[in-house]
Amino acid sequence: MSGRRLFRHARILTLAGSAEARRGPAMRELAVIEDGAMVTEGGRIAWVGADADLPTGLVIDDVHELEGRVIMPAFVDSHTHLVWGGDRRDEMQMRLEGADYEAIFAAGGGILSSVARTRALDEDALFEQSAARLARMRRCGTTAFEIKSGYGLDLETELRQLRVARRLGEMQGVRVRTTCLTAHAVPEEARADETARAAFVDRILDEVLPAVAAEQLADFCDVFCDRGAFTVEETRRVLARAAELGIPPRLHANEFGHTGGAKLAAEVGARSADHLLHLDAEERAALREAGVIATLLPGTSLVLAKPFADGRAMVDDGLAVAVATDCNPGSCPMENLGLVLALACHGCRLLPAEAICAVTHNAAVSLDLADERGRLEPGLAADFLELDTDDERDLVYHAGSPFLRRVWAAGSLVPR
Ligand SMILES: [Zn+2]
């Protein structure tokens, strides 16, 4: 047994090339091989090229005839909150019946209701609920995930969430990057006055981040820097403390207005600035000059009936754009990144090729995973999708239809 698998006569979107983020028009270059072949071995890609150039004499165990179908890198979801307890279906129902935010909050809804439900679960129960979501996301084509904390807001639960995220990443064929987002919301117990709020931020600096760093539980630190969440000054302090501890920044920014988050992301050199519903030319230039990846979360716009971020302007202004689900219990419980890819086109006006780059290579770069995910090149992980079409634009054209024929992670089939 060589353990080698051969995939023949496929249209292969390799995205081969630089491991840097693709900016502007470069996002449209998918490095397609028509009538291509790919060999995988031991969970990695061993060879990719034209079928006619296939090396002779290779011992192959398993040959897959693609008959012109598309093969492309598996999805990388660079913004999720997928470890949480319970659900907020009732809140969705209330919203669709016309309830406003205050009414939902009064009925016990919002982020703080997920905090209560997450705090109530022990590690195994939290793992079980989260693993079920992750399994559905894998069936939808995602094999690498960023997972944030932020539904604990206290030391113990934040650590528990991050430990669960790490455990998910130990599963076969699952790659996880974790992000500490303790500055997600001000918890109930810190809402009394400004002193209580300041003490909460101090605790993040003095207790939570050092404990997270000591256990090496977070690859990134994130802050919800926006109206109703954390100010630019509070955010700067949290990210500076994280940087001291060796944890690089990413940021929830400019979802509700020009609140300074995007400019701060540029100032601190964040890996990614996410949401960006409100982003003017000056803010776009700041992100471009600082090399910050702009991450679009169009599923959230759809669920909350908000405008979509202007992805077209971002690409036209030369930014590197990624697209992610924002999978979370309130504003976007969507798990299907293939559907969100289509929303990035129909809502944010990306071209299909740009959106494909945004959910593969650029997302991988934003998670420091470009040396192992997001492209189909020898040495990278054998994480890829077989589509039931010879034209990848069907993912956008027939948004949400079942075009995933098979999902491969680390060279093995993901169970359907
Ligand atoms: Zn988010």
Distance 81 CA to ligand 1 centre (A): 6
Closest CA to 215 of 144, 268, 161: 161
Distance 332 CA to ligand 1 centre (A): 9
Q: How far apart are CA 388 and CA 366, in angstroms?
A: 29
Same-fold call for 4-73+374-413 versus 76-366: no
The pairing of beta strand 62-65 with beta strand 70-73: unpaired
Distance 296 CA to ligand 1 centre (A): 11
Distance 364 CA to ligand 1 centre (A): 17
Q: What is the pLDDT of residue 238?
A: 98
Distance 221 CA to ligand 1 centre (A): 12
Q: What is the pLDDT of residue 99?
A: 87
Write out the chain's pLDDT in tens, 416 residues: 678 999 999 999 999 999 999 999 999 999 999 999 999 999 999 999 999 999 999 999 999 999 999 999 999 999 999 999 999 999 999 999 998 877 787 777 789 999 999 999 999 999 999 999 999 999 999 999 999 999 999 999 999 999 999 999 999 999 999 999 999 999 989 999 999 999 999 999 999 999 999 999 999 999 999 988 999 999 999 999 999 999 999 999 999 999 999 999 999 999 999 999 999 999 999 999 999 999 999 999 999 999 999 999 999 999 999 999 999 999 999 999 999 999 999 999 999 999 999 999 999 999 999 999 999 999 999 999 999 999 999 999 999 999 999 999 999 999 98
Distance 253 CA to ligand 1 centre (A): 10
Alpha-carbon torsion, ordered 203, 224, 176, 162, to 10 deg: 30
Query: Which tokens in the block code for residue 243?
Result: 């940087």
Sketch the domain layout of the chain as residue ranges. Answer: 4-73+374-413, 76-366
What angle, rounded to 10 degrees, do the helices at 194-203 and 232-244 form? 20
Distance 327 CA to ligand 1 centre (A): 7
The type of residue at 45 is I
Closest CA to 171 of 219, 131, 126, 142: 131
Distance 51 CA to ligand 1 centre (A): 42
Distance 180 CA to ligand 1 centre (A): 12
Q: What is the pLDDT of residue 100?
A: 80
Q: What is the pLDDT of residue 101?
A: 72
Contact (CB, 8 A) for 133 and 327: yes
Q: What is the pLDDT of residue 193?
A: 93
Q: What is the pTM of this model?
A: 0.97
Q: How far apart are CA 311 and CA 321, in angstroms?
A: 8
Distance 162 CA to ligand 1 centre (A): 15
The pairing of beta strand 384-387 with beta strand 32-41: unpaired
- Tell me the residue ranges of DSSP E strands in 254-330: 272-275, 293-296, 321-323
Distance 79 CA to ligand 1 centre (A): 6
The type of residue at 164 is V
Q: Which residues pair with 175 in a beta bridge?
A: 144
Query: Which tokens in the block code for residue 100?
Result: 């406003």
Instruction: Tell me the CATH number of domain 76-366, given options 2.60.120.510, 3.40.710.10, 3.30.2400.10, 3.20.20.140.
Output: 3.20.20.140
HEC states along 86-154?
CCCHHHHHHHHCCCCHHHHHHCCCCHHHHHHHHHCCCHHHHHHHHHHHHHHHHHCCEEEEEEECCCCCC
Q: What is the pLDDT of residue 228?
A: 87
Distance 181 CA to ligand 1 centre (A): 9
Distance 411 CA to ligand 1 centre (A): 30
- Please give the CATH topology (third level) of the domain spanning 4-73+374-413: Urease, subunit C; domain 1 (2.30.40)
Distance 144 CA to ligand 1 centre (A): 17
Distance 174 CA to ligand 1 centre (A): 21
Q: HSE (CB half, 13 Å, CA atoms) of 276?
A: 37
Distance 58 CA to ligand 1 centre (A): 46
Report which DSSP code applies to 58: -
Q: What is the pLDDT of residue 109?
A: 79
Tell me the C-alpha to C-alpha distance, in Å, between residue 8 and each of 36, 50, 52, 155: 6, 9, 10, 51
